Structures are given as C-alpha cells and as structure tokens.
Amino acid sequence: MNFQFLELLVSGSPTEIRVKDCSWLTEEQLYKALVKCDTTKLTVLQLDICGRCMHDRILSGTLAKSPNCLPALSAISLRGASHFLHAGFKSLVASAPGLNSINLGHCSLLTTTDILILADNLGKVLKELYIDDCHNIDVMSILKVLNNLQHLEVLSVAGIPSVCNDFVCRLVAARGPNLKELYLADCERLTDVSVKAIAASCSELRVLDLVNLTKLTDSSVRYLSNGCRFLQKFRLRCNIF
C-alpha cells in the first residue's frame, strides 16, 4: 500500500478502514488522509503498527474531534500505537459511544487509569478487549471493572507481567460463563490452578491461548478436556509437557 491508495480508501464516507501495517506512514500523511474523511458512517477502523504516525494530536485533530463524532464506530484496532497517551485515549472513548470491540495490544503507554476510563464509558456495550503486552497495566487494579463488563466475550491480557492465578480465578468466576475467547500467552506466573478454574467456569470457551506458560503440567490438558467441550482453537507451545 502507498499513500495514494490510502487516500482513496478513506475518501468519501467509508464504512470500514482496514490497514494492517501503518509502519510506512508518517504523521503528516496520516493527518492529511484522515482530516477530510467523513467518519459518520464508519463502523470499523483498523490502523495497526501505527507507532510512527499515531499521536494524540493526530487522533484529536481527525477522528476524535468531539464527543460522539464517531456514532457508528463499533470496532477499532490501534495495535502498536506506542505514542498513544492518556489524552488521546480519553478523546477516543468519548467520541465513539458504541464501541464494542477495542484492540490496543502493544500500546506501551496505556495505563490502568485508561482501562478504568474505558470501562466507565463503554461498560454496557464492550464485548471484546485486547490489551496484550500493555506492561503498564496492573490487572488486579482493573479486575473489578472487568468483572462488571456484563457483555465481555473476548479478552486478551497476554504478556502482561501482573497476570497471576488469583486474577484469572477471580475473573473467570465472575465472567467465565460468557467468555468465548481468552488469551493468556506469555503470562509466565500462571499454573494449573488457573487452567482448572477456566475449565470449571468457562463452558462456552471457543479459543484459549496458553503459549509459553512453562509452569503448566499435563493436568491442565485433563482439566480442559473435561470442562471446555466446545474449544475450537487451543494454543500450546513452549510448554514443558
């Protein structure tokens, strides 16, 4: 993809904008492409690997100009927005009251406070939340709000150092019956205790990612085979058994 094609993609009143790799884009190019875009009908926005070009001023000057300016937006993915700060996140949440799917994986500056704001504004509609490898988030501090997300079906906390057995057990006790996908790869503190809790509470689970959990034993597989009968995708790699 080049800049000319991006301009064509966002021209008029698009309903979906999907760019999986924005690493080639500059701030100026992204601003120029988005500033004239009519976003009133936009339902899906994907601008991944956008650390080079996505800054708060770009977001607030184009997509999130004012509260409720993205009335139709239901899904957004800004993976790798490494310069995404609190102000930009706050304006984004305020601009899209109908967001039910948010992918902010590898947004290294995302904090616990940002997730609390998200839950405050979107708690009644949010179904999917990806915050993998956001190392500044303390998952125990957001556990209460996660447990209050009544429609939450997909959660990724993969690679977050604070993820522990206590977090997983308390999360699935509250939200387990609704969860369809759970991503816990690289959460190296987890043991069979977490998997046993998942098997007991997540009967509707379709996808489970346990890659690189070196403390698991073959007991985990036994728990899941008895408790998660609807699993369609089960990821195990770099485990010791």
- Per-residue model confidence as pLDDT tens digits over 136-147: 999 999 999 999
pLDDT of residue 180: 98
Residue 29 above 90 pLDDT? yes
Query: In which band, very low, low, confident or very high, does the pLDDT at 83 lie, cut at 50, 70 and 90?
Result: confident
Output the CA angle 184-140-201, nearest 5 degrees.
55
pTM score of the predicted model: 0.94
Residue 84 above 90 pLDDT? no
Among residues 27, 29, 39, the alpha carbon closest in space to that of 6 is found at 29
Q: What is the mean pLDDT of residues 201-229?
A: 95
Q: What is the mean pLDDT of residues 149-164?
A: 98
Q: Worst-scoring range by mean pLDDT, 56-60, 84-88, 173-177, 218-222?
A: 84-88
Sign of the CA dihedral running 158, 209, 54, 91 = negative
Domains of the chain: 1-136 (3.80.10.10), 138-241 (3.80.10.10)
AA identity, residue 44: V
pLDDT of residue 215: 95
pLDDT of residue 2: 87
Tally: H helices and E strands in the chain: 9, 9
pLDDT of residue 241: 66
Reduce the DSSP state of residue 131 to 3 states and report it.
coil
pLDDT of residue 10: 92
Q: What is the mean pLDDT of residues 12-32?
A: 95
Start-to-end C-alpha separation, the chain: 43
Q: What is the mean pLDDT of residues 143-155?
A: 97
pLDDT of residue 206: 98
Query: What is the residue-averaged pLDDT of the chain?
Result: 94
Neighbour order of strands in the sheet with 75-77: 16-19, 44-47, 75-77, 101-103, 128-130, 154-156, 181-183, 207-209, 233-235
Reading the block at residue 214, the tokens are: 């070196």
Residue 103 above 90 pLDDT? yes
Residue 164 above 70 pLDDT? yes
Which residues are registered as beta bridge partners of 154? 128, 181
Which tens digit of pLDDT belongs to each residue from 170-193? 999 999 999 999 999 999 999 999
Cα–Cα dist 5/203, whole Å: 45
CA atoms within 13 A on the CB side of 121: 21
